Structure 1
Amino acid sequence: MTADLPSFGPGFRWGVSTSAYQIEGAATEGGRGPSVWDTFAGAPGRVLDGSTGSVACDHYHRYAEDVRLLRDLGVDTYRFSFSWPRIQPAGSGAVNPEGLGFYDRLIDELLAAGIQPAPTLFHWDTPQPLEDAGGWLERDITERFADYAALLAERFADRVGLWMTINEPMVLTLMGYAVGAHAPGRDLGFGALPVAHHQLLAHGRAVQALRAGGAREIGIASNHSPTWAASESAEDQEAAALYDTLINWLFADPVLLGRYPTDDLAAAMPGPVAEDLVVISTPLDFFGLNHYAPTLVGAPTGNADTGATDGIALPPGLPFEPRALTGYAMTDFGWPVVPAAFGEILQTLRTRYGDRLPPLYVTENGCAINDGVVDGVVDDRRRIDYLDGYLRALKAAIDDGIDVRGYFQWSLLDNFEWAAGYTQRFGLVHVDFETRTRTPKASYGWYRELIAQSRR
């Protein structure tokens, strides 16, 4: 089934990714405090199917079963996230020993199975008390995040080799604070720019705290995709360039170059920006790339296609407009399947950053394919085709000299997919959200065979 795929070599790292709020459940158990996603999902009309992550995949109770799935899959690394409100319910101050104990058990179970834990410190589940105090709009949260990073390093650095600070700071900035489609549901437009700066500063402070605490490989998991102009017109080209700057380079340039991509953006940021950029650009051991699909962008016409933004309407008056990208196969989430765009963004990162670009890990890549269980089997051939195409594009980039050290498929399990609730399935393993029964899909077997073949 995978015989004609190229080999990535024995040293390449294979994994899968998940996040705490999307799979753990146990929202009110074990001393966990409330997060912004508990609040947001609990409000009517916020999540497509009216669901919450209060139970999710029940990973909190079923983690041993999930580690067995990881072991049988053959991955050598598992990317998950710590739940900040499970570890520090108020976001500062008292630490919850039951929360730390859960991650002790998970990490020890992974190591016993021969799997390296690769945690992300923050995957959008801000403790609600911190949001009540201003959240990511306030500079104080960067200090709280550094303290949180330090306590995690103290507890886990002896057993964890690969660390990520923040997942996709762009998404929290845009979806959480600019348009309000994700928690905490703020609708600030360009007034959300301080959120970008504070996440980046929190990242830099966390890198320093982790390193001081003995953590080894440290990076970030940042999402990037090509932005394609809708036409050759000057107006469309200008709109696409602005969108590209805001979605991609606003978040990568400060980390990798120590500067914002434009003087106007630097001037819009709060605090002593020049001093902060020194912290933000603290050298990394790797840069994590999350990639899914390119975006087609043109000048505003008033007829934006919300399919290009996961069905979410952007506010009027923006100087750019995402458009539907046609002519490609589509995932069930409406995202175009364009493996060439994967190679393009890898090449763009190398060209833009040169020797400032550390080794790369693909920390997320995958697709929503919503096939169900039929006679005990989930035949998700379209996911296999997707992964086949994207991994071929990745191998071509590696053969061209781009230093990519590993690949993490999103995701191990079908899970709570944020504002889409349980309507979209990204997992290699099907989850019945009434019984929480796990059923490995055909893609699970395909990925297992690929990993085994690559190690021969």
Structure 2
Amino acid sequence: MALTTSPVASFADLVSPPAGSAMRRPGFIFGAGTSSYQIEGAAHADGRLESIWDRFCATPGKVLRGENGDVACDHYNRLDEDLDILKRLGVDAYRFSIAWPRVMDEAGKPNAKGIDFYKRLLDGLGARGIKAFVTLYHWDLPQYLEDRGGWLNRDTAYRFAEYADLMSRELAGRGDVAAWTTHNEPWCSAYLGYGDGHHAPGLKSNRWAAQAMHHLLLGHGLALPILRANAPQALHGIVINCAPGYADKDTAEDRDAALLFETYQNRWVLDPLLKGEYPKDLWRLWKGCEPLVLDGDMDIIKRPIDYLGINYYSRAVLASKGPDTIDWVRHPEVERTTMDWEVYPQGLQDLFEAFKRDYANLPPLYITENGMSSHDKVEGGEVNDLQRQAYLKSHFAACSRAMDNGVDVRGYFVWSLMDNFEWAFGYERRFGLVHVDFETQKRTLKRSALAYADFLKERAGR
């Protein structure tokens, strides 16, 4: 197995939550996450169909250096090796996504070879005592559906429900599926995919983004009762990416800019899910872009969920550029990652406490992604990713403070398990606990991974 570790003393204190943290209590879940297109590779194997990301990557100028996910981390062919890494880390759970184009053909019939990969994945997790958090949609829509309009076509929501039905039936009884997730970050799918064109399918219209969001959320709501019927023992929910907004200056105008940012970044998704309505302030930013909503749609979208996954990375500082406009303010003196995102752990606590205050029906929360990209290199057989170690420790502390203040957080998944294909940034940005040499596919546990493993070992009393 091409895996390198370092025989050193315990690194647990480099990342561990504070002494006495509620995160240390029995039952709190620690994990790591990945997504199908970012790690699997095998893009043309065993009947897998083209996805919107295959097409997007093949379009000149869309992805840095013209890179793609054809091989990625070759996870499809290195499954057991990667499962052993999860076991070595000692995580309670693994969050992964299913590649929709891998498991169904254009007529909606199951692809047995593709489905078998996920059966082996779940069986492998179960044999290693690791729970599974399964995401159905992490952005790799089958291209044939995009050719019919993608998420701009209401029919895609119904095709998504059929896909959810197939997979929850096919994978029933395999491993220990603790949770089913409908969508990962519908904001990214809708806005980056259909609003500003930074992600697949690369369309640019705020009106399209609003309509795509509605159909994504409709698909979520349609899938929920199906998932509950097929997997009654599991939790069922959705994962959203959130960020708090802060006024650059303490003026009414900048405070309004911060409100507008949080409306389009957070409430655009949360209000339909938890209140059954779109926030009216959103249409101050996007005048005339309201989606077509049919009778009964919002009741479907606001069906109760068992948990809400939150992906948190950074904050935004906002200033007003005039009525109903916002401008992002960049302060160069603050610590940043190689994504140019500010390191701001306090934002996680502020965000969670605001959600607890604003949503009376807020379900239990899981941090389903948190982590950072850095320029990691293997030196002397080791990767001493100092910034990531400090990042995790400070964010664990922020989560602990939020829990102390009454926020119901039940798990924390570090993003990501391994370096991978980082969407439009190709392979340049490294988020992994595990370093991947993309030429040789050699895996090397970074010091953050060793520290995480040591902490989990000590917590378990091993």
With the shorter chain as reference, the TM-score category is over 0.9
Give, in whole Å, the separation in 2 of the partners of 1:338 and 1:385.
12
Which runs of 5 or more structure 1 residues have no equivalent in the other structure? Answer: 302-316
1:248 maps to which residue? Answer: 266
How many Å apart are 1:157 and its aligned residue?
3.0
Q: CA RMSD in A?
A: 1.8
Q: Secondary structure at the match of 1:372?
A: coil
Letter in 1 for 2:115: L
Q: 1:149 aligned to 2:164?
A: yes
Q: TM-score, normalised by structure 1?
A: 0.93
Give, in whole Å, the separation in 1 of the partners of 2:100 and 2:372.
27
Distance change in 2, residues 1:318/1:67 (3 Å)? farther
CA contact 1:295–1:325 (8 Å) conserved in 2: no
2:239 maps to which residue? Answer: 221
Give, in whole Å, the separation in 1 of the partners of 2:423 and 2:178.
28
How many Å apart are 1:329 and its aligned residue?
1.2
How many Å apart are 1:219 and its aligned residue?
0.9
2:374 aligned to which of 369, 378, 384: 369
1:22 maps to which residue? Answer: 38
Q: Which stretches of structure 1, 4 residues or longer, exceed 4 Å deviation after superposition?
A: 263-267
2-11 or 58-67: bigger deviation = 2-11
Q: 1:192 aligned to 2:209?
A: yes
Q: 1:270 aligned to 2:292?
A: yes
Q: 1:85 aligned to 2:107?
A: no
Give, in whole Å, the separation in 2 of the partners of 1:267 and 1:321.
20
Letter in 2 for 1:106: L
Which runs of 5 or more structure 2 residues have no equivalent in the other structure? Answer: 1-10
Q: Calculate percent identity across the aligned residue pairs.
A: 44
Give, in whole Å, the separation in 2 of the partners of 1:263 and 1:362.
27
1:407 maps to which residue? Answer: 412
1:171 maps to which residue? Answer: 188
How many Å apart are 1:158 and its aligned residue?
2.3
Q: TM-score, normalised by structure 2?
A: 0.91
Give, in whole Å, the separation in 2 of the partners of 1:192 and 1:13.
34
Deviation string 1:338-397 (CA, Å, 9 cap, x unpaired) is 11111111111101112x011111100000012100111101011000000000111111
CA contact 1:9–1:455 (8 Å) conserved in 2: no
Q: Secondary structure at the match of 1:236?
A: helix
CA contact 1:361–1:404 (8 Å) conserved in 2: yes
How many Å apart are 1:263 and its aligned residue?
7.8
Deviation string 1:191-232 (CA, Å, 9 cap, x unpaired) is 321011111111111112101213421111111110112222
Pairwise mapping of residues 305-316 of structure 1 onto structure 2 (< 5 A)? none
Distance change in 2, residues 1:42/1:384 (3 Å)? same
Q: Secondary structure at the match of 1:49?
A: helix
Count of residues paired in the alignment: 438
CA contact 1:34–1:89 (8 Å) conserved in 2: no
Q: 1:54 aligned to 2:70?
A: yes
2:4 maps to which residue? Answer: none
Letter in 2 for 1:2: A
1:353 maps to which residue? Answer: 359
Give, in whole Å, the separation in 2 of the partners of 1:454 and 1:350.
28
2:114 maps to which residue? Answer: 99
Deviation string 1:268-319 (CA, Å, 9 cap, x unpaired) is 12131x5111111111111111100001122238xxxxxxxxxxxxxxx992
Deviation string 1:153-206 (CA, Å, 9 cap, x unpaired) is 111132322111100001111111101011000011333210111111111111
1:307 maps to which residue? Answer: none
How many Å apart are 1:326 and its aligned residue?
4.0
Give, in whole Å, the separation in 2 of the partners of 1:370 and 1:267.
40
Give, in whole Å, the separation in 2 of the partners of 1:137 and 1:175.
14
- Structure scoring higher RCO (CA < 8 A, sep ≥ 6) equals 2
